Chain A
Amino acid sequence: MAGSILITLALAFSIFSMVMYFFTYRGAKNTLNIARMSYHAMAMFVIIASAFLMYLIITHQYQYEYVYSYSNDDLPFGFLLSTFWAGQQGSFMLWLLVTALIGVFLQSYTGKRDDLEPRVMMFFTLSTTFLLAMVSPLLKNPFAYIWAEPMFLETVKINPAYFNAPFMQNFMFNDPNSGQNFVKMSKDLYATLQGAGISVNQFIIHGKGLNPLLQNFWMQIHPPILFTGFAMTTVPFSFAMAALLKNDYKDWVRQSFPWILAGSGILGLGIMLGGYWAYGVLGWGGYWAWDPVENASLVPWLISLAAIHTMIVQRKTQAKGGIGKFVKTNLLLSILAYVMVLYSTFLTRSGVLGDASVHSFVDPGAIVYLFLIIFVGTFLLLGVGMIIYRWRYLESQIVEEENLLARELALFTATVTLGASALIVAVGTSAPIFKQAVETRFYNEMHVPLAIIIGLLNGFSFLLKWRHSSGEDILKKSKFSLIATGVFALLIILFGKVYDIMMILLSVSAAFAFFVNSEIAYKIFTGNKKMLGAYIAHIGFSLFLLGVVGSAAYSKQFEVDLTKGKPVKVLGHTLEFTGYNPIENNTKYEFNVSVKDGDGGGEARVIKPVMFISAFNNSLMREPDILEGFTKDFYVTPLSYEDGSNAENKPQGNAVTLMPNEKTSIEGAQLTYTDFIKPDMSVMMGGGNFQMGAKLTVTKNGKTETIEALMKKEEQGVTFVPVELKDADLRVELTKIDPTTKKAEFIVGKLSMPVITTKPSEVLAVNASTKPFISLVWIGVAIAVIGFFVSTLRRLKESWA
């Protein structure tokens, strides 16, 4: 209850703040302070609500549906932290929290700059209002009680003390497919518990747990950083809208610049952390799979980057008076970046991607679907509507002056290319809405030429001067880079054996950009260091491109069976499986593989891929291990393991499925399933030991015998007891029985038939691959992110008039 009240209060203050900012903008006196105070009150309530949610998770308050669904009492503190954003409700809450906090800084930033605050903050609070409505009790509220909607809980989650309570039988259900029992949690059961004086928290003593894929360090840092990046796009949007509102475009780029730079840096970092998570922990084998959820975060980032490039031009061309060039482009891109964040949210949260993604969320219901559409629609219409409204004025401000060899044009081309990339990704990702899908080669093949253009521009545009440059000048400045690139090209063809023409072009363009930027960066380093940002970012990006070429186009993979103790040579390494050992309280197994270079000489390094059966989803989970190196990673994913117990005697014979009173002839005998042997229902419900099975009569050579084929459930698990009939030379073993339909399956074979024994051997099957220069991907991104922040500092200083 308390959580919902906090959210509702915050929502009220957010709306009130927005209205007060609007009045302030319209010239009302005395309303600015009220608006500010309301904003801070809203932020305060959001912070308290978030802390409260965290408190509920840490103290295992399973009466809250969210806490029950995404956590359990055996999770360590670090993973309980991940629970906060593991589900839809919580991740909206995280987004809201970060947005609210950013707003506090934005409020103080805009408050110091003329009349900026009311114009910017009224749009910003519109955004917080929508997010608050999203987590309000009407929609995706993380504070919803578990009984609000009927929900089936596994019996193991319930306090066993209440199993025998008389009211329980009305709420117990059995799933005949899995044989599992559930307790139906609903308003009725809640009322009954209330009546009996039992609190829900006493009744439900365990949570469902957290998906094992999310139980790692990367899940703790990737979502907060990504959502900070998402939330940051709200700021350039608000600045663009504020400029359109006032119809004054002189200052907004300068003011918006540090925010869009910092936001892009953070979003880029967040995206790449997700990539590292996929590569290093989830075992996708790469950092990018063009998965819709990945794409959804990439599109706004590309648009932000596109905006940055033409914003520089607008800023530079303002110097001669007027509002500068590419104003419409900049406004549109600043607005689109945020709208695409919202559109991505719609794609990944509304369930429209349904079958297309590994991790898009399940259908949230019609109301949320509709709300998401309204959310996207409102901001899109507001933004585009304002631009259309101001179109004629903006048209009249166009500065006409074109020169082919000018940095302005190169930067504009960069914006167009980045925009094209965003368009490709957006189109491909949206295809499932129309029941279509694209293969990943759609993205790959479209991006190779674009990346070549980007690489060339990345170097070339820094050789150009603003307004006009002479060919001679460019040639002079690029002497070093051209020579170095030539040498690089020779090296990769001769020694790297790169023969694909597109890959040569791509690496050469990236290398050219690297040399140009490095040369300039080196010169600046001795001078004004705060100007370094752009060059650092572009050096990082060119290294990233080189890493992509190496790791994506020249990766090799091979599936191999490793028999224990037998070295196998694969991809230039000698692998030997040496055994496994349990880790983390016997919940997981490490498979030790010793790796030697070449033919097996030299020192062995041990890598330990992990496999385990997760109790959460009852599935085999595999975690890769990587031998990291600068020139290449050696990546090993475990596939399966056979422990040699396959040597056990497998029953031989024919499979038979019978219903009660059904007969069949097999191996010269008449088999009749006469009766179902019932299990003790109450024990079965409680998860205790029980047995069930089938009573059969077997007639052979005129002799009839009655046998019982049984399934026994004990602490160690389920066993089937075979029945051997010496006279009839028959072996009957139950393999499956369904207590509701009573359908039973058997294996019937001759007793005299030899039992096949397979040779025991421990075999670990792995997928081994090499990823050349993947290290450059991480190094490149890290350098680029540093570049963004250096630029942010510089532009922050310039944001004052």
Chain B
Amino acid sequence: MKNKYIFGGVIAVVFLGMMIFLFTKSNIQYESDFVKVMSSDRTIKATGSWVKEKSYEVNKSERTFAFFMKDATGREMKVIYAGTIPNNFESAQSIVVTGQYKNGNFHAKDILTKCPSKYQDKQKAAANS
């Protein structure tokens, strides 16, 4: 009877420990302030929007896709993504890039484009301005 609980308890502790360890190891924080993004050397999920005026460039030989992204305060940074331009990129309302800021550029290993099914808010804002 006692043994059962000790045995089960040990397994539970080992399992939870493993989970917490992996969680903290693979955990990534969201950051919408690019000052913090640029000062951190960790892998981060930076959220912001594409600077349309600066367009984007697709480098065929190195297979990278680069563009400028800005945060809510308008601070910009160059994002270099090792891959090709994602679906929906042009119409994305906001963009989440996962990666690290190194040597003046944000090197992304993943891009998520948020394309809400409703565009009203954006249009509302635009029409009011």
- Considering the chains assembled together, what is the distance between the CA atoms of A621 and B120 in angstroms? 23
Which residues of B41-86 have CB atoms within 8 Å of chain A's CB atoms? 45, 47, 52, 58, 60, 63, 84-85
Of A211, A617, A618, most buried by chain B (CB within 10 Å of CB) is A617
A659 close to chain B: CB less than 8 A? no
A660 close to chain B: CB less than 8 A? no
Residue on B nearest A740 in the bound complex, by CB:
B129
Judge whether B19 and A427 touch: CB under 8 Å: yes
Judge whether A175 and B123 touch: CB under 8 Å: yes
Whether A620 contacts B87 in the complex (CB less than 8 A), given A152-B124, A355-B112, comes out as yes
Residue on A nearest B88 in the bound complex, by CB:
A619
Residue on B nearest A357 in the bound complex, by CB:
B112
- Considering the chains assembled together, what is the distance between the CA atoms of A152 and B124 in angstroms? 7
Chain-B contact segment, one of A13-21, A102-110, A316-324, A428-436: A428-436
Residue on B nearest A413 in the bound complex, by CB:
B11
Which residues of A417-472 have CB atoms within 8 Å of chain B's CB atoms? 420, 423-424, 427-428, 431-432, 435-439, 441-442, 445-446
Judge whether A446 and B22 touch: CB under 8 Å: yes
Partner of A152, one of B45, B87, B115, B120: B120
Whether A435 contacts B29 in the complex (CB less than 8 A), given A69-B117, A69-B118, A175-B126, comes out as yes
Expressed in whole angstroms, the minimum distance between the Cβ of B77 and any Cβ of chain A is 17
Judge whether A427 and B23 touch: CB under 8 Å: yes
B127 close to chain A: CB less than 8 A? yes
Interface size band for A: 35 or more
Judge whether B27 and A424 touch: CB under 8 Å: no
- Collect the chain A residues with CB atoms within 8 Å of residue B52's CB: 177
Partner of A438, one of B1, B28, B89: B28
Main secondary structure of the interface of A (DSSP, over half): mixed
A400 close to chain B: CB less than 8 A? yes
Expressed in whole angstroms, the minimum distance between the Cβ of B16 and any Cβ of chain A is 9
Judge whether A436 and B29 touch: CB under 8 Å: yes
Expressed in whole angstroms, the minimum distance between the Cβ of A801 and any Cβ of chain B is 33
Whether A176 contacts B19 in the complex (CB less than 8 A), given A436-B27, A639-B84, comes out as no
The number of chain B residues with a CB under 8 A from chain A is 41
A690 close to chain B: CB less than 8 A? no
A722 close to chain B: CB less than 8 A? no
A145 close to chain B: CB less than 8 A? no
Which residues of A145-196 have CB atoms within 8 Å of chain B's CB atoms? 150-152, 173-178, 182, 184
A402 close to chain B: CB less than 8 A? yes
- Considering the chains assembled together, what is the distance between the CA atoms of A620 and B86 in angstroms? 9
Judge whether A442 and B23 touch: CB under 8 Å: yes
A600 close to chain B: CB less than 8 A? no
Whether A420 contacts B4 in the complex (CB less than 8 A), given A87-B117, A559-B63, A619-B90, comes out as no
Expressed in whole angstroms, the minimum distance between the Cβ of B32 and any Cβ of chain A is 9
Judge whether B45 and A355 touch: CB under 8 Å: yes
Residue on B nearest A428 in the bound complex, by CB:
B23
User: Apart from A152-B120, A442-B27, A559-B84, what 16 extra A-B contacts exist at CB < 8 Å?
Assistant: A69-B117, A152-B119, A355-B94, A355-B114, A400-B1, A420-B15, A423-B19, A437-B30, A439-B28, A441-B26, A446-B18, A561-B60, A619-B91, A619-B115, A621-B87, A640-B85
The 10 closest A-B pairs by CB, nearest first: A173-B127, A175-B126, A152-B123, A442-B26, A362-B116, A439-B26, A617-B91, A619-B88, A639-B84, A355-B96
24 CB contacts below 8 A, A to B, read A86-B117, A151-B120, A174-B127, A175-B126, A182-B123, A355-B45, A355-B47, A355-B112, A356-B96, A362-B118, A420-B15, A427-B23, A428-B23, A435-B29, A436-B29, A436-B30, A437-B28, A438-B27, A446-B18, A617-B91, A618-B91, A619-B89, A619-B115, A640-B58
